[in-house]
Structure formats: structure tokens, C-alpha cells
Chains A and B, each alone.
Chain A
Amino acid sequence: MPVVDQNPKARLESNGSVFRLVLSGDWVLQSGAPSFHELNWDPLQGKKGVGILEINGRDLGRWDTTLLPMLLAAHNFCEEHEVSLNLEGLPEGIRRLFNLATAVPVKTDATHAEDEPGFFRQIGNWAMNFRQGADDWFEFIGRLFLGFMRLARGKAQVRMRDFALVVESTGAMAFPIVSLISFLVGLIITFLGIVVLIRFNAEYYVSYLVGYGMLREMGALMTGIILAGRTGAAFAAQIGSMKVNEELDALRASGVDPVEFLVIPRVLALVLMMPLLVIYSMVVGIISGMAIANVMQNMAPEIFVKGLLEAVTLSDLMLGLIKSVVFGILIAMSGCLRGLQSGNDANAVGVATTQAVVTSITLIVAFNALIDWIAAIYNV
């Protein structure tokens, strides 16, 4: 850290239309250099065309690039007010730096960030974005569909090693978290069920509740949400960083469609793994319910199972499995689409990952309701 012996100072002197900016002291980083606007420039503004600004550095101590902002501000001021600038009183080195800094003119047509848009503009933007988002989804679904058609004809270029990798990471590695969450969900359903049912002397029916709950709703829902956070996010991050790294461009340039190549194996992997994980989750949830009922109410496991078998049917299981497949497709598609849509920097990959999770959870909840509604219509 530089030691400041003398505080940096700037003083403005005038003599007719010749103005002199006298710089003194040590202009080094962290010395708290004065800024251009602290001085009173009004008198010089009136000297359009005739004014001269001389910068004098005779008493300048040590200096570094801290001096540059002052000079550039003076330069801009002089250009703007048509006053000539004389830097001859400055050390050679800082003059060279100044020349470099002003060598390339400021690019005026490159200003890109728009000002904060007004209210109606924002609504307009929002509507346009929504429209664009929907278009992107339809296009993506269409291309994925075509990809699957080509796959069926054996013509698709698909990375089957990705399939294996995803199966591995969603399968083996998701087990602990799915176990834990399913156990807790089973516990919660049982606990709540007993607290309510005991008022009607109907604790026996708690197994109905756990059975329906895990098979029809919670198994698929909780597993879906876990995989949205784990796998969907991972898809978005993988594909997003491939985009940043121009790897997707390299694929396209080699005549390979990234949608086909990267998305199909991921969708297939989740379509395979989701049902397996969901069945596992159902089993864990039900066992957990059985255990809690036993602890809280001394309900024997045989009685619990008896109640369970009275209640649930194969169609409840099928409903859960259909949901699991649908959720798997939704998670894989949201993750991949958000990754493909990602912007071109590290920050954008983070945003894409977050969006992937939000999108897939939203879609899971919405489709869950839709499927339940259809099931109710057909009395399933």
C-alpha cells in the first residue's frame, strides 16, 4: 500500500481566458484524490472557442493511474465546451497514458442497456416474453418429437453414454434423499391422520390414508420435486455451460442437432428412472406409516396391512406410476430447455438452473392437478 506523504490537491487559477489547473501532492491509489467536479468550472464554460486550460504538474509528487480520471474529465469538459487543453506541464509518462486512453474514440452507438422501462413498457415486455416463452416450448416439443421419430427409425444421433450417466446419477445417488423424504412424508401423513381420526374413533383407517396418499399423490409428487431440484437443475447447468463454452455451436457446426443429441437420452433416462424411484418412495412411505402407527397407537403391522389392502387397488398404483412418467418427462424437458436457452456467461447458467427448478416444480404441480382431475372424471 503506497504511503501518502502529501495529500493530493487540485486548484484552479485563472488569468483572462487562460485557466490553469494546478495539481500537487501524491496522486496515488487510496490517497483520496479530489474529483473534477469539486472544482468550480463555471467561469471557463463561458469561454467557448477562446478558453485555454493548462494543466500544471510542477508540484506533483508521486502519481499513478489515479491521476487519469481527472485528466479524462478535463478532456471531456474541454471537448464539450470547445476549450483547448494543454497538457505540456505534466510528466511525460502520464501524458503517454492519457494518449493511450483517448486513442480510441468512445463508441456512442454501442450503448446497449436500455433505461428502466416504464410501466406499460414493462407490461408489454412481459407479454412479449410470455409469448416468446410459449413459442420456445412449442418449438422445443416439436423438435423433440421429430427427434424421437428419427430415433424410432434408427436415424437419430443420440449420445447413449449420457443415458447411462443420467441413469446412474438419478438412480443410485438419489436413493438416500428419496428415502429420507419419503420416510418423513409417510410419518407426517400418519401422524396427522391419527390426530384427526382418533376423534372419530377411526384410527384403524389411518392405513387407508397412508396408502392412498403415498400411491396416488405423495410418492410421485415428492420424488418429482426432489429430482427437479437435483437432476433438472443439473441438466440445465450441464447444457448451459456447454452453451457458454460454444460446445453447442460446435455440435451444430458438425451437423448434429443438440436437441436430439443431448435431450433425448436425458428424457429417456428419467422416463426409466422416475417410476422405479417412485415405487421405492411409495414403499418407504408406507413402511414408515406402519412404524409410526405402531409407535403411536400400538397398531400391529398386520392390522395396518389389512386396512391397506382393503383400501388401495391396482389403479391407485397405476395412477402414481403414470404421474411418475409424466413428471420425469417434464423435469427432463424443463431442465434441458432452460439449459439450451441459457445466456452466454456464468451468471446466465445460474439463472438457467434456477429457472429449470422453478419451471419443473410449477409444471409438476399443475400436471398433478390435471391428472387428478382426469382421474376423477373417469372414477379412477
Chain B
Amino acid sequence: MSKEALIRVENLTMAYGDFVVMRDLNFDVKQGEVMVIMGGSGCGKSTLLRHLIGLQEPAKGEIYYGDTNYTQSDPDRRQKINRRFGVTFQQGALWSSMTLEENVAFTLEEYTNLPPEEIQSLVRSKLSLVGLRGFEQYYPAEISGGMRKRAGLARAIALDPDILFFDEPSAGLDPLSSKRLDQLIMELRDSLGATIVIVTHELESIFDISDRAIFLDTSVRTITAIGHPKAMLKDPPNENVYRFLSRDATKPA
């Protein structure tokens, strides 16, 4: 690929206190690609996302955005980079004291000078994209878990950010909504040129939407495969990747 690396992770070690979650991670994410992070439950996927968006500090190693060393940047500089991000969290993380409309409108109000009517129509269009038109005045506590995740997605794309981080956006959604979500993700990449880093367990999505994927392996606590998942399945770099991608749940020999 000739495209430039937008995010570069070098020798990243992630830990909670003394407990090392993953060590020596090296990978990059190129401009305009969909990068899937795969791995078993509890292996550190959410933790990796939290590192990428600066919510947690690496125990070791560096994260670069373009030429900027994000890990070494001061808070102001980081905040500027963060404004290019759209993030969804595993549990939705909607602001509970705001309605859905206010949740989605928030960054638009903070970072743009658009007139209120325009913000309102943008918010409505974002909510329609995730199938939540009509729920503008609901509070997060008044909607279902899956709806919260979709609302979180609408909030993440409010500013049409160039880098999107999704943590299991389709977990807990019905097959149809989940399919629509995949389509939306492809549209975000193809029409808006967004770069997307996504954690997902949905094999179908993994094969459909990813340009590349990395596999975090708990047994050795690092990345054991990088590439397109179809290629990984055809020519598995190791047994764990194969078992993951082919849903083979038998015990290892």
C-alpha cells in the first residue's frame, strides 16, 4: 500500500499496575483504511483503544499521529489531536444528563460556530443515520442498550471526524441493525475518507469491512497476526488465529 501511516504504534506495552496486558505492540493504521482489532474477550482490545485516544498512558512505547508523537505531547496539543477523533465506547457512555439531541449536538456547539437551526438539522440527520430519528428528546436512561450504542455512534460522527474509534459497535444489536452499521462504516470510509479503528467480534463484519486486522493473542500477550482476515484464514500464521476466525472452540492440543 502506498498510503501514508496515519497512526503508528511503536513498542507499546500496556499495563494496569504490575499486570501487563499486552507488550511490544507494533503496527500502523493507514490513512482511510478500516483496521479491525480482534482477540478473545479480556485480551486488551478496549485497553488498546484507550491508549490510542489518550485515556491511558503507555507503560512503555510510543504512539504517533502523522509526525506528532502523541505520547510525548502536552495536554493542549493532545486536545487538538483529540478533536479529530470520534469515539464510541463499549457501554455507550452517553452523557446521562443530556437528551440524545444534546448529546449529539454537544461537540457541534463546542467546536463550531454554526447557528442553532443548522446544528439541529445536522443532529437529526446523524440520528437518522443510526435509525434513531424521533428519539431526540429521550434521555439515555429511557432507551435500550442497543439504542444507546447507536446514539453513541451518532455522537461520534457528529463532527465528521477523520479518525474514528469504535469499541464493539455492533455487540448487542440485532442482525439487521448490525448489517446497517457495517454499511454505515463503509460509507464513512468511502464517502468521507475517514480512517476507522474498530474492535469487533462479529466475524461477518470482520471479513466484510476490514482492510486489515490485527490479532491480539492472550497466550503470548502480543500481536501474532497482521493483515487481511481472509488471507489470515487461508494461510493462518498460527493456530490461535485460525481457531478464532473459524470458530473452532475445541481445546488446544
Q: Is B50 an interface residue (CB 8 A)?
A: yes
Knowing A255-B79, A255-B83 are in contact, say whether A246-B19 is a contact too (CB < 8 A).
no
Given the complex of chains A and B, what is the CA–CA distance between A3 and B19 in angstroms? 47
Knowing A99-B251, A252-B54, A255-B83 are in contact, say whether A245-B110 is a contact too (CB < 8 A).
no
B19-72 CB contacts (< 8 Å) to partner A: 19, 50, 53-55
A165 to B, closest residue via Cβ: B97
Q: Is B85 an interface residue (CB 8 A)?
A: yes
Q: Do B107 and A253 touch (CB < 8 A)? A: no
Given the complex of chains A and B, what is the CA–CA distance between A256 and B95 in angstroms? 13
Given the complex of chains A and B, what is the CA–CA distance between A247 and B155 in angstroms? 13
B54-109 CB contacts (< 8 Å) to partner A: 54-55, 79-80, 82-83, 85, 87, 89-91, 93-97, 106-107
For chains A and B in complex, what number of residue pairs have CB atoms within 8 angstroms? 58
A218-262 vs B, CB cutoff 8 Å, 1 = contact: the mask equals 000000000000000000000001100111011111111100000
Given the complex of chains A and B, what is the CA–CA distance between A255 and B81 in angstroms? 8
Q: Do B85 and A245 touch (CB < 8 A)? A: no
Q: Do A246 and B89 touch (CB < 8 A)? A: yes
Residues on B with beta carbons closer than 8 Å to the beta carbon of A376: none
Knowing A103-B249, A253-B87, A254-B110 are in contact, say whether A245-B96 is a contact too (CB < 8 A).
yes
B50 to A, closest residue via Cβ: A249
Knowing A245-B96, A255-B79 are in contact, say whether A112-B106 is a contact too (CB < 8 A).
no
A108-131 vs B, CB cutoff 8 Å, 1 = contact: the mask equals 011010000000000000000000
Residues on B with beta carbons closer than 8 Å to the beta carbon of A157: 110
Interface size on B, residues (CB 8 A): 27
Contact of B55 among A103, A245, A249, A257 (CB under 8 A): A249
Given the complex of chains A and B, what is the CA–CA distance between A247 and B91 in angstroms? 10
A159 to B, closest residue via Cβ: B97
B151 to chain A, nearest CB (A): 12
Given the complex of chains A and B, what is the CA–CA distance between A110 and B21 in angstroms? 10
Q: Do B89 and A250 touch (CB < 8 A)? A: yes
Q: Do A249 and B251 touch (CB < 8 A)? A: no
Knowing A253-B53, A253-B82, A254-B107 are in contact, say whether A245-B91 is a contact too (CB < 8 A).
yes
Residues on A with beta carbons closer than 8 Å to the beta carbon of B89: 246, 249-250
B161 to A, closest residue via Cβ: A254
Given the complex of chains A and B, what is the CA–CA distance between A103 and B110 in angstroms? 50
Residues on B with beta carbons closer than 8 Å to the beta carbon of A251: 95
Q: Do B82 and A250 touch (CB < 8 A)? A: no
Given the complex of chains A and B, what is the CA–CA distance between A255 and B106 in angstroms? 12
Given the complex of chains A and B, what is the CA–CA distance between A246 and B56 in angstroms? 13
Knowing A99-B251, A103-B249, A110-B19 are in contact, say whether A250-B110 is a contact too (CB < 8 A).
no
A245-295 CB contacts (< 8 Å) to partner B: 245-247, 249-257
Q: Do B93 and A254 touch (CB < 8 A)? A: no
Q: Do A250 and B87 touch (CB < 8 A)? A: yes
Q: Do B96 and A255 touch (CB < 8 A)? A: no
Residues on B with beta carbons closer than 8 Å to the beta carbon of A241: 96
Residues on A with beta carbons closer than 8 Å to the beta carbon of B91: 245-246
Residues on B with beta carbons closer than 8 Å to the beta carbon of A102: 251
A153 to chain B, nearest CB (A): 14
Q: Do B110 and A249 touch (CB < 8 A)? A: no
A126-164 CB contacts (< 8 Å) to partner B: 157, 162
Residues on B with beta carbons closer than 8 Å to the beta carbon of A245: 91, 93, 96
Residues on A with beta carbons closer than 8 Å to the beta carbon of B79: 255, 257
Given the complex of chains A and B, what is the CA–CA distance between A183 and B67 in angstroms? 66
A371 to chain B, nearest CB (A): 34
Given the complex of chains A and B, what is the CA–CA distance between A99 and B251 in angstroms? 9
Given the complex of chains A and B, what is the CA–CA distance between A157 and B111 in angstroms? 10
Q: Do A103 and B83 touch (CB < 8 A)? A: no
Q: Do B106 and A254 touch (CB < 8 A)? A: yes
Given the complex of chains A and B, what is the CA–CA distance between A109 and B23 in angstroms? 15
Q: Do A255 and B80 touch (CB < 8 A)? A: yes
A111 to B, closest residue via Cβ: B19
A153-191 vs B, CB cutoff 8 Å, 1 = contact: the mask equals 000010000100000000000000000000000000000
A244 to chain B, nearest CB (A): 9
Q: Do B93 and A247 touch (CB < 8 A)? A: yes
Residues on A with beta carbons closer than 8 Å to the beta carbon of B55: 249, 252-253
Given the complex of chains A and B, what is the CA–CA distance between A245 and B95 in angstroms? 9
A63-74 vs B, CB cutoff 8 Å, 1 = contact: the mask equals 000000000000
Closest 3 CB pairs of A and B: A246-B93, A255-B82, A253-B87
Chain A interface residues toward B at CB < 8 A: 99, 102-103, 109-110, 112, 157, 162, 241-242, 245-247, 249-257
Other than the given A249-B55, A254-B107, 20 more pairs (CB < 8 A) read A103-B251, A109-B19, A157-B110, A162-B97, A242-B96, A246-B89, A249-B50, A249-B89, A250-B89, A250-B93, A250-B94, A250-B155, A252-B55, A253-B54, A253-B82, A253-B87, A254-B82, A254-B85, A255-B79, A255-B111
Could you give 28 example pairs across A and B, Cβ below 8 Å? A102-B251, A103-B249, A103-B250, A103-B251, A112-B19, A157-B110, A162-B97, A242-B96, A245-B96, A246-B89, A246-B93, A247-B93, A247-B95, A249-B93, A250-B87, A250-B93, A250-B155, A252-B54, A252-B82, A253-B53, A253-B55, A253-B87, A254-B83, A254-B87, A255-B79, A255-B82, A255-B83, A255-B111
